[in-house]
Amino acid sequence: MDKTAKSSLNFKGVLLNHHEIIVKSKPRFSDALRILKHPSKNNFYQTIPLSETQFVAIYYQNRRFQFTYQNQSFLLFEGNQQLSEDAVYNIVNNFIVKEGNKVSYLTNFPEDKIRPAKKKKGRVLAVSKRVDE
């Protein structure tokens, strides 16, 4: 990431004040494109400019988490408890991070759309021979 590029955290939800947010739903690919192409026309997303050592409280599933942005990385925690990898993933995939002219977000691929590879039919080489009686 370019140090001079402006970074922001974008989400669907409510911005209670400059340091507290309530997340409502997860982003989709079309949302990422909308934020990238038309940031000023974006009425559905809230934006928090990211600056070094900024703490933000997140309310998600009736729990309060905090994150900070330091050295171009996010630190996410809940009180003094260390969060599991699944818990962190479930929280982080609610956000779109915009860095300059790039956007990033996490998503799950739907498992029901994964299809098994097609099996190749084996070739059968047949030879016929006339039998004289």
Let me know if residue 128 belongs to a domain.
Answer: no
Let me know if residue 132 belongs to a domain.
Answer: no
Chain segment 116-133, per-residue pLDDT in tens = 777 777 777 777 778 776
Q: What is the pLDDT of residue 16?
A: 79
Let me know if residue 60 belongs to a domain.
Answer: yes
The rounded distance, in Å, linking the Cα atoms of 27 and 117 is 30
Let me know if residue 131 belongs to a domain.
Answer: no
Let me know if residue 49 belongs to a domain.
Answer: yes
Name which residue leads in pLDDT, 111 or 8: 8
The answer to whether the predicted template modeling score (pTM) of the entire model surpasses 0.75 is no
Distance, CA of 63 to chain centre: 20
Residue 56: strand, helix, or coil: strand
> What average pLDDT does this structure show over 86-96?
84
Q: What is the pLDDT of residue 14?
A: 82
| Total count of domains within the chain | 1
Let me know if residue 93 belongs to a domain.
Answer: yes
Let me know if residue 11 belongs to a domain.
Answer: yes
Q: What is the pLDDT of residue 18?
A: 64
Chain segment 23-72, per-residue pLDDT in tens = 888 888 888 888 888 766 656 788 878 776 567 777 777 778 887 777 77
HSE on the CB side for 59, CA within 13 Å? 11
The H helix count followed by the E strand count for the chain is 2, 8
Q: Do the strands 20-25 and 54-60 form a parallel or antiparallel pair, or are they unpaired? A: parallel
- Domain of residue 45: give its range: 7-109
* Cβ-contact 78, 64 below 8 angstroms: yes
Q: What is the pLDDT of residue 53?
A: 55
Let me know if residue 18 belongs to a domain.
Answer: yes
- Rounded CA Rg of the chain: 25
Q: What is the pLDDT of residue 19?
A: 66
Q: What is the pLDDT of residue 122?
A: 75
